[in-house]
């Protein structure tokens, strides 16, 4: 990676800063639209704060050091979503306590370090919902950004933007009794046109869940990164890509509507709103921002949950 495309960030892992909150303290969670210029086909963003804490770098730590294997996106207070295949190689060590993980966002006000307290893989999908807890100081304006999800099915020929973190170095170091995390790299954005839609899955083995095919490249470390439409709404996550001779990909995008009624644990700060099993659809219109959530609903078939989607463009 060229030096002009590299940024460095570091911060201390601490305890949840809301543990000593007092009556009258407030936090803001703001739905954010991410819009890009269509003429920018593939660019490294200027500054790690370009997404204002919305796009996360997902790091895993063990005795050998730190590893950045993917990206994630904030979709609610202490709630993020990423690709399951980013988590899968680390599952055993995480369960055995040999690894832990954090998700790092960089806002205009500084670094935001989120400890991953819970990761819920979603059945038969390359998606995982993360329950996060802030482990760095509160931003000065007490504000956090989260994506605006849309249930819309993008049209063939429509332009989408694939985003993620391209890592060069990540590490964790003890520092006066606490741990300091460091990351070196940059956010990368590439755009392309939707060339195919597979609402029932592309195939039975590699991509059996609802996906889009987009004629754009993606880089290692971008898996789980967000994909936005022209309105700046989140339409899906990067799940796979292939290298073609012309460098255009394609990239494959997991659609998010199958995840909206899947149960998970998460949410921050600690609140009765986040007790027990949650769904993104259940948190819509108040906590999570989801466009036209009513086109997705869940039914029970032979005791199993089935999610029904009515496509709209």
Over the Cα atoms of the chain, what is R_g? 19
Q: From CA 281, how far away is CA 275, in angstroms rounded?
A: 15
Q: From CA 237, how far away is CA 60, in angstroms rounded?
A: 20
How does pLDDT run across 125-162, given as a tens digit for each residue?
999 999 999 999 999 999 999 999 999 999 999 999 99
Token output for 96 = 């055995």
> What is the b/e burial string over 143-171, where b = at least 16 CB atoms within 10 angstroms of the residue's CB?
bbbbbbbbbbbbeeebbbbbbbbbbbebe
pTM of the predicted structure, to 2 decimals: 0.91
How does pLDDT run across 19-28, given as a tens digit for each residue?
988 888 889 9
How does pLDDT run across 69-104, given as a tens digit for each residue?
899 999 999 999 999 999 999 999 999 999 989 999
Q: From CA 220, how far away is CA 128, in angstroms rounded?
A: 19
Strands 143-150 and 28-32: parallel
Query: 67 pLDDT band (50/70/90 cuts)?
Result: confident
């Amino acid at each position: 990676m060229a030096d002009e495309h590299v940024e460095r960030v570091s911060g201390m892992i601490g305890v949840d800063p809301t543990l000593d909150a007092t009556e009258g303290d407030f936090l803001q969670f703001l739905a954010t639209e991410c819009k890009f210029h269509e003429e920018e086909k593939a660019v490294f963003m200027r500054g790690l704060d370009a997404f204002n804490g919305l796009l996360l770098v997902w790091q895993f730590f063990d005795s050998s050091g730190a590893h950045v294997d993917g990206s994630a996106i904030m979709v609610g207070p202490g709630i993020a979503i990423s690709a399951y295949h980013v988590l899968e190689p680390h599952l055993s060590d995480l369960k055995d306590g040999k690894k832990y993980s954090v998700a790092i966002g960089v806002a205009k006000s500084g670094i935001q370090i989120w400890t991953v307290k819970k990761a819920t893989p979603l059945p038969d999908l390359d998606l995982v919902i993360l329950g996060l807890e802030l482990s760095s100081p509160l931003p000065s304006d007490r504000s956090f950004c989260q994506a605006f999800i849309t249930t819309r099915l993008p049209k063939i020929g429509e332009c989408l933007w694939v985003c993620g973190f391209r890592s060069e170095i990540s590490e964790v170091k003890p520092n006066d009794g606490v741990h300091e995390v460091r990351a070196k790299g940059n956010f990368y954005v590439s755009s392309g046109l939707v060339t195919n839609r597979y609402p029932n899955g592309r195939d039975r083995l590699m991509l059996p869940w609802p996906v889009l095919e987009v004629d754009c490249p993606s880089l290692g470390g971008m898996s789980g990164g967000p994909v936005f439409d022209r309105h700046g709404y989140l339409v899906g996550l990067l799940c796979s890509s292939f290298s073609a001779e012309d460098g255009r990909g394609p990239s494959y995008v997991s659609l998010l509507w199958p995840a909206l009624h899947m149960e998970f644990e998460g949410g921050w700060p600690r609140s009765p709103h986040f007790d027990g099993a949650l769904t993104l659809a259940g948190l819509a219109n108040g906590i999570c921002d989801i466009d036209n959530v009513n086109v997705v609903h869940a039914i029970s078939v032979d005791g199993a949950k089935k999610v029904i989607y009515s496509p709209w463009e």
